[in-house]
Amino acid sequence: MKKLLFLFDTDEMPSVFDTVVGYDGGADHVTGYANVTPDNVGALIDGTIYTRGGKDKQNTAIFVGGGNMTKGEELYEKVKKSFFGPFRVSVMLDSNGSNTTAAAGVALLAKAKSLKGKKALVLAGTGPVGMRAAGFLGMEGADVTITSRTKDRAEAAAKVIEKRFGIKVSGVAGGTDEERAEAAKDANVIFAAGAIGVQLLPETAWKDNPNVELLADVNAQPPLGVEGIQATDKGAEYGDKIAFGALGLGGLKLKLHRACIAKMFESAEAVFDAEEIYALAKEMA
Ligand code: NAP
């Protein structure tokens, strides 16, 4: 029986990235749907749950993606709520690679050093990856602060993360190098989660800062989010500091994404959101 993966994408076009990783994770066929919303997804869900019975059901799985975390979460909830009794298939949420990228980054940091009680700063922590990274850092027991170019957005995102993960998060303004350097002054862990090709932290803000112990940056396109590290860094040492660049952590991100796809085809009941994906990342890191 063929393993079928259905991509429910909230964007205008289904993601090529998620399609490729779907195949690499073991799907025999990947079908992408665009502009999927909680209002129009009903028939798509019906097609996955009413077509195969018994053990055969585990050969059908759903991946919820797209660039918007909130829309992705709403769609993912709608999919799960539509399941009942045996009428269900495995489902994964990874809008913009949020769960897998953040999980890979934080799992590598946590493996390098315990994060418990550390002050963690997520730069540009309002995007999908940053909001998940903040959640995982909080789950590890870190005291988390996120920045945004506006304080309002930082505070609003902090509230959403607090509600989702049941942790305490502070939101501060980080619209300039000076503001971000100020926020980084007493940070032990810095996770740069900014948009592609945007530098967020000059080298002078961390290289000689005795508080900084760990750095991660998910932006692979120069200029990097953190000046002075390399995209390929995977536990690279800069004096007493340990750094992970976007390509350095990207290997684990991809392996993790593929592993989640493969695991979805092992039962009809798997759910892969933040907690499940982070647990797997910690096993694989
Ligand atoms: P995003 O939503 O595009 O951006 C994250 C935040 O960056 C935004 O919420 C915004 O915050 C801030 N930002 C945008 N433009 C900015 C600018 N010009 N100056 C300063 N801040 C700016 O990003 P995402 O989807 O969460 O992804 C985060 C990063 O992860 C991206 O660089 C992406 O390429 C990377 N990524 C890496 C991997 C990997 O395997 N390494 C996988 C997936 C994604 P405010 O508007 O609140 O300031």
Q: What is the pLDDT of residues 122-165, one digit of tens each?
A: 999 999 999 999 999 999 999 999 999 999 999 999 999 999 99
Query: What sign does the CA torsion over 52, 6, 85, 270 have?
Result: positive
Ligand 1: residue of 17, 18, 96, 199 to mutate (most ligand atoms within 8 A of CB) is 96
Fold designation for 4-93: Rossmann fold (3.40.50)
* Two structure tokens written together for 125: 């922590």
Fold designation for 101-249: Rossmann fold (3.40.50)
Q: What's the pLDDT at 80? A: 98
Strand arrangement of the beta sheet that strand 214-217 belongs to: 169-173, 143-148, 119-123, 189-192, 214-217, 241-244, 234-238
For 104, list phi and psi in degrees, rounded to 5.
-60, -45
* Two structure tokens written together for 216: 């991660």
* Two structure tokens written together for 247: 């390509």
Q: What's the pLDDT at 175? A: 97
- The C-alpha atoms of residue 221 and residue 199 are separated, in whole angstroms, by 10
- The C-alpha atoms of residue 283 and residue 263 are separated, in whole angstroms, by 14
CB 123 within 8 A of CB 190: yes
Whole-number Å distance, alpha carbon 105 to ligand 1 midpoint, is: 14
Q: What's the pLDDT at 225? A: 98
Q: What's the pLDDT at 172? A: 98
Q: What is the pLDDT of residues 48-78, one digit of tens each?
A: 999 999 999 999 999 999 999 999 999 999 9
On average, the pLDDT of the chain sits at 97
Q: What's the pLDDT at 176? A: 97
Whole-number Å distance, alpha carbon 124 to ligand 1 midpoint, is: 7
Q: Which atom of ligand 1 is nearest to the CA of 194?
A: 7
- How does strand 4-9 pair with strand 29-33? parallel
Helices (H), the chain: 16-24, 42-49, 69-82, 98-112, 128-139, 151-165, 177-184, 246-264, 274-284
Q: Give the pLDDT band (50/70/90) at residue 14.
A: very high
* Two structure tokens written together for 261: 């796809």
Q: What is the pLDDT of residues 162-214, one digit of tens each?
A: 999 999 999 999 999 999 999 999 999 999 999 999 999 999 999 999 999 99
Which residues surround ligand 1 with Cβ inside 6 Å?
96-97, 101, 124, 126-130, 148-149, 153, 193-196, 198, 218-220, 246, 250, 253
> Which residue CA neighbors atom 41 of ligand 1 most closely?
246
Q: What is the pLDDT of residues 79-111, one digit of tens each?
A: 999 999 999 999 999 999 999 999 999 999 999
* Two structure tokens written together for 238: 């800069």
> Which residue CA neighbors atom 19 of ligand 1 most closely?
198
Whole-number Å distance, alpha carbon 125 to ligand 1 midpoint, is: 8
Q: Give the pLDDT band (50/70/90) at residue 223.
A: very high
In the chain, where the domains are located: 4-93, 101-249
* H or E segment and range at residue 29: strand 29-33
Q: Is 36 exposed, middle or buried (0-12, 13-18, 19+ CB in 10 A)?
A: buried
Q: What's the pLDDT at 58? A: 98
Beta strand segments in 174-267, E = 189-192, 214-217, 234-238, 241-244
